[in-house]
Amino acid sequence: MASEDVVGKSTSESAVTTIVNLAEEAKLAREGVKAPGHELLSICKSLVAGGVAGGVSRTAVAPLERLKILLQVQNPHNIKYNGTVQGLKYIWRSEGLRGLFKGNGTNCARIVPNSAVKFFSYEQASSGILWLYRRQSGNEDAHLTPVLRLGAGACAGIIAMSATYPMDMVRGRITVQTEKSPYQYRGMFHALGTVYREEGFRALYKGWLPSVIGVIPYVGLNFAVYESLKDWLIKSNPLGLVEDSELSVVTRLACGAVAGTIGQTVAYPLDVIRRRMQMVGWNHAASVVAGQAGSKAPLEYTGMVDAFRKTVHSEGFGALYKGLVPNSVKVVPSIAIAFVTYEVVKDVLGVEMRISD
């Protein structure tokens, strides 16, 4: 899904990177300056800081991320995970500490290329959109509006998600493996090679369409809710939260958490469908995802619409929101950790650069 990524492009390109990026873009839009990252040094520093922040924040909430995926795809005829607390306890008892972080290495490994592609794509999309906007308006001094920046960000998100989607696909499969699984992927590269050999190149992009579709409402709602909530707080100043026309870090984090929660809730069904489509064709996933009631055969989906229909028909509408609770719980700490880490790393890099100069 869509918004690392998004529904994750989706669901998963996670609320952390999306909120931080949108906050910066909104600030620049209000100030009327050009898109960020024109200087190579600034781009490199931002990439390093963003990569470290993403890795730290994802690792901190990795147990909740794995539980979310397990809840999304678990066999409805053999329920093992009945909630956040029970699910985490079950993973701990059955697989130990390592089980809580399974798949996190692959998730972190895709952050650096994802960020690099996203930043580069944003620069190119912003330049192209601005050129078209100036040509149509006839104003050579025109600047990107927030809506146009949103469009550029959505393009960058889709491109970055598509470029790194195979890594997200195998991460989903590695994550749902247990110690008792009949077949074990030994790592990201082994999983990529195995899927390619056994299922073909197209299998690496299973679930891509719902991820792309999820980018639009996820990123759009994040942007709209975050900026609208900030503007309302600054104008109304409830409880004296505004100082010198600025909101505190804690208040901005709260706005980001609210925006992320609303965005992911709306786009979440697409993330569930994406994960289930990723399991299709995996010969050893029959114990993970089962078919219609009374049948133990794995589900086969002909496409996104078919996946929606079969999921609702066999498990009910609530199945589209399996794993939403642990996913929501991790939003606040992941945003907070990413924000703080990003600022700390940028400060450290800045100090080092001044020393080296």
Residue type, 3: S
Read off φ and ψ for residue 295, nearest 5 degrees.
-115, 145
Whether the predicted pLDDT of 128 surpasses 50: yes
**Residue 116 vs residue 193, higher pLDDT:** 193
| Lowest-pLDDT choice from 42-46, 81-85, 308-312, 320-324 | 42-46
| Lowest-pLDDT choice from 76-80, 231-235, 312-316, 320-324 | 76-80
Give CA torsion, residues 123, 124, 125, 131, to 10 deg: 110
Which pTM does this prediction carry?
0.66
Question: What pLDDT shows up at residue 252?
Answer: 77
pLDDT band with cut points at 50, 70 and 90 for residue 212: confident
pLDDT tens, 151-165? 887 888 788 888 889
Contact 207, 169 (CB under 8 A): yes
Question: What pLDDT shows up at residue 264?
Answer: 82
Read off φ and ψ for residue 80, nearest 5 degrees.
-115, -25
pLDDT band with cut points at 50, 70 and 90 for residue 174: confident
Mean pLDDT of the chain: 76
pLDDT band with cut points at 50, 70 and 90 for residue 21: low
Give CA torsion, residues 155, 156, 160, 165, to 10 deg: -30
Output the DSSP codes for 309-353: HHHHHHH-GGGGGTTHHHHHHTHHHHHHHHHHHHHHHHHHHHHHH
pLDDT band with cut points at 50, 70 and 90 for residue 182: low
Angstrom distance (rounded) from CA 185 to CA 183? 7
184-202 burial code (b ≥16 CB/10 A, e <16): ebeebeebbebbeeeeeee
